[in-house]
Amino acid sequence: MSGLSGVQAMLSRFGGIRPSQQNIVLAIVVVVFAVFSLTLDRFFTSGNLLSLLQSVSVLGILGVGMAVVVIGRGIDLSVVAVMAIPMAWALNMMAAGTSTLVALGLALLLAVLIGILNGIFIAYVEVPALFATLAMGAFVYGFGRSQLFNQDIVFLPQTAPWLSAFGRAYVLGIPMAVLVFAAVGLLGFLLLRFTRFGRFFYLMGDNYLAARITGIPTRPMIVLQYALSSTIAFVAGFVTAAAVASMNTRIANSTLIYDVILVVVVGGIGLSGGKGGIRNVVIGTLLIGILLNGMTIMDMRYTTQNLIKSAILLAAILVDSIVNPRDEQTAQQGDI
Amino acid sequence: MTFYRCVLTAIFGLAMLSTATAGEGLVDPGRAGYVEALKGKTVAFLPVAMGFDLAEGWAAGLRETMKAAGGKLEIRDPNWSTDAGAQALTSLISEKPDLIVVHNPDVQSYARLIKKAENTGIYVLQINMRSSYSSDGYIGADWKAVGEAEANAIVRRCGKGTGTSGKVAIVQGVLTAATSVYQIQPILDVFAKHPEIKVVSNQAADWDATKARALTATVLQQNPDLCGVISFWDGMALGSSAAIREAGKTGKVFVVTNGGGEQMACNNLASGSFDDYVSFDVPRQASDMSDMIKVLFQSKLKPGQIKVSLYTPNKILTKETFKPDACWSMKDLPKD
């Protein structure tokens, strides 16, 4: 312990700035950004920076949904399946002749329903969030692929060209995906900061039992959290489908979910809940975006890129546990 | 007089008799053996997954053949999991169908199991992606020829005398898949003979359009004068063409890709999203497989006795010259 407190003491000497994980990661972001700007040709151009943001927008949107849940001391591993399956179902219905609005509406309903089911399992049946949402993700994928449609990749039907036009659109020179990320982030920020629900989420994450004794309707609040993260996941699916004119359902089995958790954790939202905000998601997303963009420019091999990404995750988690050691009073059984 | 009448009657009678025989027809001496050899035979099909154009096209062709011959087709769907596929293959070996058609996820995983299947007396055909062990038959694309055709298409559009930069980006799939492994070297070999072509980026996007979109967008920022993109699969190439369209460079940055020649390919050639397309013609592959199955069942050869390769001739479709009927449609496939 003395070694750790030594490191802590050393870190806290940094000219008055609290060495919270958020600040450490922010510093990494600034340094990496500066290094790339100086060393990589054409990195620091508005075009490149916008395309950098655009390519991580979907990740950021999913991160906002995940943040809402994680702050309330939960986790939602079904977000990637919810992003892929309802939207793919909508595209499939559109291809079969259903009107676009009806198809999208039904798909959104499905997404919200999945979130509510997640919430009910976790809040009322008291299944740990990790297992409930893991199983739900697999169920949603299997149900969608076997009952709703039987294609692996559903292509945007030619009858809805406006959807891909939406994906290509720029407003004031900013790509649509970035704007949607900004909007979702802003709404998430307003919710967490200025509404009663938001405050409840923090309190529940900080100390669930105390929150419950105080009279906070914790169970409905949990259902609300998961419904929100599912809805946000659906928005991410919409943006994805619009951007690449197709929905690849195979993504539900990919490692994207780890990237979402990475964005949230690296940004400094502790998995034990009650901490952090949308700012952290933005910082985490920026870090991943800058790294991916820089490594692509350097034409680095895919496996090397994964190595660097995971090394950074490990480093962030290590720093977090040194700077913010586990608190015996609030740490509970069942913590992730 | 009576004598002549008798002779005439006799001749007439004989003539009648022979016409009658001709009317009743002769028995085709080869048919019984054919029917006998195929009747009641079971063919098992193990693709990397169902639900995408290639696997659905092959399955439909095989099902049709087996149904007509009085046999049956069984499908195992491991849904992109190599482990589940290996298990399915193991259980198939103990179920002992008469023939297994295997679609390998990579060059290594099934190799020993395929050999084992042959040793237990099951014919094994491999489709489109070969394992390191050659079984009774390989039917599928000649990836070397596909790579060369793609590289030549790029040379034609970006090579000497075209007044372009000659800069090319290569977007590979999963790096361990037979498709990527066998395709990349022939491409680089062709480019080696054309020093004016410069590969500015050579990366993997895991068969995912979203990753391909982000990758291509970054490369375009880096090289605004990019001339062409080779994408290793049509489903993934959609991501590259989305990035190119967003940058307003459709028609200036050429997209060369390959696939099974489903309707989606023709739609994208028509809309200018793809410029050159190497089709390995799935219906033709299905009929090649069917022929091979019929030959094996009639041949009475022992499994493993012959090693045959049937490479599908590539159909090269270009934006300028392709005919609308060059593609087949997944929608038109018979269901069961």
How many angstroms away from the CA of B276 is the closest CA of chain A?
19
How many angstroms away from the CA of A231 is the closest CA of chain B?
20
Q: Where are the alpha helices (DSSP H) in B159-233?
A: 178-192, 209-222
Three-state secondary structure call for residue A321: helix
pLDDT band at A149; cut points 50, 70, 90: confident
d(CA B164, CA B12): 84
Kindly tell me if the per-residue pLDDT of A267 is higher than 90. no
Q: Which residues of A touch B206 (CB under 8 A)?
A: 254, 302
CB-based contact (8 Å) between B203 and chain A?
yes
d(CA A40, CA B222): 10
Enumerate the β-bridge partners of residue B138.
B126, B309
Q: What are phi and psi of B45, to 5 degrees?
A: -120, 125
Same-domain status, B71 and B107: yes
Assess contact for A127 and A139: CB atoms under 8 A: no
Enumerate the β-bridge partners of residue B256.
B230, B276
d(CA A101, CA A264): 32
Kindly tell me if the per-residue pLDDT of A211 is higher than 70. yes
Let me know if residue B25 belongs to a domain: no
d(CA A170, CA B46): 45
* Number of domains within chain B: 2
- Average pLDDT of the residues of chain B: 89
Q: Shortest CA distance to A87 belongs to which of A266, A282, A234?
A: A234
Q: What is the pLDDT of residues B227-279, one digit of tens each?
A: 999 999 998 999 999 899 888 888 899 999 999 999 989 999 998 899 999 99
Dihedral sign from CA coordinates of B300, B303, B304, B307? positive
Range(s) of the domain holding residue B100: 31-141+282-313
Same-domain status, B189 and B232: yes
Q: What's the confidence (pLDDT) of residue A334?
A: 45
d(CA B62, CA B283): 10
Q: Sort strands B228-231 and B254-259 into parallel, antiparallel or unpaired.
A: parallel
Q: Do A244 and B246 touch (CB under 8 A)?
A: no
Q: Shortest CA distance to A96 belongs to which of A106, A81, A108?
A: A106
DSSP codes of every residue in B88-130: HHHHHHHH--SEEEE--SSSSTTHHHHHHHHHTT-EEEEESS-
Angle in degrees, CA A195, A134, A75, rounded to 5: 30
CATH number, residue B265: 3.40.50.2300
Same-domain status, B271 and B286: no
Let me know if residue A141 belongs to a domain: yes
Query: What is the C-alpha end-to-end distance of chain A, expressed in Å?
Result: 22
Kindly tell me if the per-residue pLDDT of B152 is higher than 80. yes
Q: Do B222 and A167 touch (CB under 8 A)?
A: no
Average pLDDT on B120-142 reads: 92
Nearest-by-CA chain A residue for B209: A244
Same-domain status, B156 and B52: no
d(CA A234, CA A112): 9
Q: Which of A45, A238, A259, A302 to mutate to test the interface with B (most CBs of B within 10 A)?
A: A302
Q: Point out the residue among A45, A155, A302 whose CB comes nearest to the CB of B221.
A: A45
d(CA B86, CA B114): 10
DSSP state of A325: P
Same-domain status, B264 and B205: yes
Let me know if residue A236 belongs to a domain: yes
Let me know if residue A308 belongs to a domain: yes
Q: Do A168 and B242 touch (CB under 8 A)?
A: yes
At B239, list the tokens. Answer: 């991501």
Let me know if residue B23 belongs to a domain: no
* Number of domains within chain A: 1
- Average pLDDT of the residues of chain A: 85
CB-based contact (8 Å) between B245 and chain A?
yes
Enumerate the β-bridge partners of residue B298.
none
Same-domain status, B104 and B114: yes
A 62-101 residues inside an 8 A Cβ radius of B: none
CB-based contact (8 Å) between A57 and chain B?
no
Same-domain status, B243 and B301: no
Q: Sort strands A170-171 and A174-175 into parallel, antiparallel or unpaired.
A: antiparallel
Enumerate the β-bridge partners of residue A77.
none
What lies within 8 Å, CB to CB, of A271 at 6+ separation is A70, A75, A265, A335, A336
d(CA A164, CA A159): 11
Q: Point out the residue among B50, B175, B242 whose CB comes nearest to the CB of A243.
A: B242
Kindly tell me if the per-residue pLDDT of B22 is higher than 70. no
Assess contact for B85 and B114: CB atoms under 8 A: no
Let me know if residue A276 belongs to a domain: yes
Assess contact for B221 and B195: CB atoms under 8 A: no
CB-based contact (8 Å) between B293 and chain A?
no
Kindly tell me if the per-residue pLDDT of A6 is higher than 70. no
Burial class (CB in 10 A: 0-12, 13-18, 19+), B15: exposed
Range(s) of the domain holding residue A185: 32-319
Q: What's the confidence (pLDDT) of residue A328?
A: 60
Please tell me the least confidently modeled range out of A115-124, A160-169, B291-300: A160-169
Per-residue 3-state assignment (H helix, E strand, C coil) for B4-23: HHHHHHHHHHHHHHHHHHHH
Q: Which residues of B touch A146 (CB under 8 A)?
A: none
What lies within 8 Å, CB to CB, of B157 at 6+ separation is B164, B227, B228, B254, B275, B276
For residue A150, CA distances in Å to B55, B207, B246, B290 come to 12, 19, 30, 24
Strand order in the sheet with B228-231: B198-204, B167-172, B228-231, B254-259, B276-279, B315-318
Q: Which of A91, A174, A248, A309 to mutate to test the interface with B (most CBs of B within 10 A)?
A: A248
Q: What is the pLDDT of residues B138-151, one digit of tens each?
A: 999 999 999 999 99
Q: What is the pLDDT of residues B50-95, one digit of tens each?
A: 888 899 999 999 999 999 999 999 999 998 888 999 999 999 999 9
Angle in degrees, CA B124, B127, B130, rounded to 5: 85
Q: Which residues of A touch B238 (CB under 8 A)?
A: 155, 244-246
d(CA B277, CA B159): 18
Same-domain status, B222 and B108: no
Same-domain status, B116 and B152: no
Q: Which residues of B touch A46 (CB under 8 A)?
A: none
d(CA B79, CA A280): 36
* Chain centroid, CA B300 distance in Å: 26
Q: Do B214 and A296 touch (CB under 8 A)?
A: yes
pTM of the predicted model, to two decimals?
0.80
At B138, list the tokens. Answer: 């390989």
The residue type of B283 is P
Please tell me the least confidently modeled range out of A91-95, A223-227, B194-198, B320-324: B320-324
d(CA A64, CA A109): 20
CB-based contact (8 Å) between B213 and chain A?
yes
Q: Shortest CA distance to A330 belongs to which of A204, A242, A222, A153?
A: A204
Q: Do B209 and A244 touch (CB under 8 A)?
A: yes
CB-based contact (8 Å) between B235 and chain A?
yes
Q: Which residues of A touch B51 (CB under 8 A)?
A: 145, 150-152
ipTM of the modeled complex? 0.72
Q: Do A296 and B219 touch (CB under 8 A)?
A: yes
Three-state secondary structure call for residue B171: strand
Percentage with pLDDT > 70 across chain A:
90
At B46, list the tokens. Answer: 């193990």
Three-state secondary structure call for residue B27: coil
Assess contact for B120 and B93: CB atoms under 8 A: yes
Q: Shortest CA distance to B209 belongs to which of A260, A84, A322?
A: A84
Q: Do B213 and A244 touch (CB under 8 A)?
A: yes
Let me know if residue B11 belongs to a domain: no
Q: Where are the alpha helices (DSSP H) in chain A?
A: 2-11, 21-39, 46-71, 79-95, 100-123, 129-143, 161-168, 176-194, 196-206, 208-213, 218-244, 256-267, 278-297, 302-323
CB-based contact (8 Å) between A51 and chain B?
yes
Let me know if residue A8 belongs to a domain: no
Let me know if residue B4 belongs to a domain: no
Let me know if residue A129 belongs to a domain: yes
Same-domain status, B251 and B226: yes
pLDDT band at B17; cut points 50, 70, 90: low
